[in-house]
Amino acid sequence: MELFKSMDNLNNKKDPQKANLVETEQVKCLIIGSGPAGYTAAIYASRANLKPVLYEGLQPGGQLTTTTEVENYPGYPEGVTGPVLMEDLKRQAKRFGTDVRWGIATSADLSNHPYKITIDDKNIIEAKTVIIATGASAKYLGLEAEKKYAGMGVSACATCDGFFYKGKDIAVVGGGDTAAEEAIYLAGLCNKVYIIVRKNYMRASKTMLAKVEKTPNIEILYEHNTKDLFGEDGVEGAILIKKMGTPDEEKVKINIHGFFLAIGHHPNSDIFSNWLERDDVGYIKTIPGTSKTNLPGVFACGDVQDPHYRQAITAAGSGCIAALDAERFLSSL
C-alpha cells in the first residue's frame, strides 16, 4: 500500500496535470472480451473494415485458457490446447488489423449514443457499436483443493474434459439441470458417476431427473457436501460430509479421478445492469437468432448471453453474428 502511495506521489510530482488525465477516444466498434466470441467478432469486424478495438479483460483468452486439451473445436483434427487455440484466434484477429489491448471495462454509460465505456477506471471509449463478449465464470465451491487440482482432475466443463476420464469413476457437484445434463453425458463415457447434491432433492427439471434416475451407472448422493479432495498427482478421491450440521453427520470417502463442478455460472454482465435487459441470473437478453440487445448498436455474444450451450464453437458462431449485426447497424446510420 505504502509503495503505491509513494509511486502516486512521485507521478504527481513529475507531472501533476498528467496524474488525473482522462483520455477519450472515439471508435466505430468496441469489442469487450477475448474468448472465442470476442476474437471471432474481431476477425469479422476487422475484415469488414470496422477498425475494431478489443479489450482483453480480466482473463485474456477467456475460460479456454484454463483448460488443457480441446478436442471438439473444428479444424484441429489432432486437438489443440486451450491457450494455443486462443493465441491462434488472437493472431488471426490481429492479422486483419484488430487493435488488441490489455485492459478491463470497469463501467458503462449507455444512456446516449455513441456509448461510453470506461477502461481501467480511467480512459473512456466512445463507441458507435459495442460488442459484449465478456463471458461467464463457472462457480467453484471455494476449496483450496479446487485450485491445487485445476486441470488435474477438477473441471467445470464435462463436454470439454469428460473424454479424459473415459472408463473411470468421477463425481459431478450440483443439483440443477447442468449437473443432470453433465452427469448423463459423463455416464456415457465413464464407469461410474456420482452426483453430489447438498439438499435432499435435485432442482433439475423432472425430465432431466427421470433421465438421471434411469441411467444405471449414476448414483445420486443426496445431502452430501464436499469437504476436500485428495490424491498424489491428481484427484484420487473426495471427502464428503453427509447430513452436515445434523446429529447424523457422517464423513464419507469416495474414490474418483474427476471432480466436475456444475453449481452454476456467473455471466460477466454486471457493469451493464443499469442499461441492458438481463435474465434473473444475469445473462444478457438478445433477440433470438441475433446478437441484438435492447439497445441499438449494443450486441452480446458468447457465454454472457448463453446459459444453454456454452461451447467454444457456439460462442465463436455468435461472435460472427455480432460482428455482422454491428456492420449492418453502422451502415444504417
Catalytic residue among 15, 88, 157, 233: 157
Catalytic residue among 29, 160, 190, 301: 160
CB of 7 to ligand NDP, least distance (A): 39
CB of 100 to ligand NDP, least distance (A): 31
- Which residues pair with residue 299 across a beta bridge? 131, 292
The cell numbers describing 16, all together, are 501533476
114: preceding bond cis by omega (within 30 degrees): yes
Q: How far is CA 161 from the centre of its chain?
A: 15
Catalytic residue among 29, 161, 301, 303: 161
190 catalytically annotated:
no
Rounded-to-integer distance, Cα 34 and Cα 11, Å? 31
Rounded-to-integer distance, Cα 56 and Cα 135, Å? 11
* Of residues 32 and 156, the one with the C-beta less far from ligand NDP: 156
CB of 262 to ligand NDP, least distance (A): 6
* Of residues 175 and 302, the one with the C-beta less far from ligand NDP: 175
CB 226 within 8 A of CB 122: no
CB of 207 to ligand NDP, least distance (A): 9
The cell numbers describing 218, all together, are 449414476
CB of 105 to ligand NDP, least distance (A): 24
Rounded-to-integer distance, Cα 179 and Cα 222, Å? 13
Phi, psi torsion values for 107, nearest 5 degrees:
-155, 165
Matching residue, cell 480512459: 123
* Of residues 44 and 260, the one with the C-beta less far from ligand NDP: 260
157 catalytically annotated:
yes
* Of residues 120 and 250, the one with the C-beta less far from ligand NDP: 250
* Of residues 80 and 170, the one with the C-beta less far from ligand NDP: 170
Matching residue, cell 441411467: 215
Q: What is the DSSP letter of 63?
A: G
CB of 82 to ligand NDP, least distance (A): 21
- State the residues that interact with ligand NDP by CB under 6 A: 141, 173-179, 181, 198-199, 203, 263-264, 307-308
Rounded-to-integer distance, Cα 269 and Cα 261, Å? 21
301 catalytically annotated:
no
* Of residues 114 and 307, the one with the C-beta less far from ligand NDP: 307
String of b and e for 297-327 (b: at least 16 CB within 10 Å)? Answer: bbbbbbbbbbbeebbbebbbbbbbbbbbbbb
Our CA angle for 32, 72, 143, nearest 5°, is: 65
Matching residue, cell 479446487: 146
Catalytic residue set = 157, 160-161
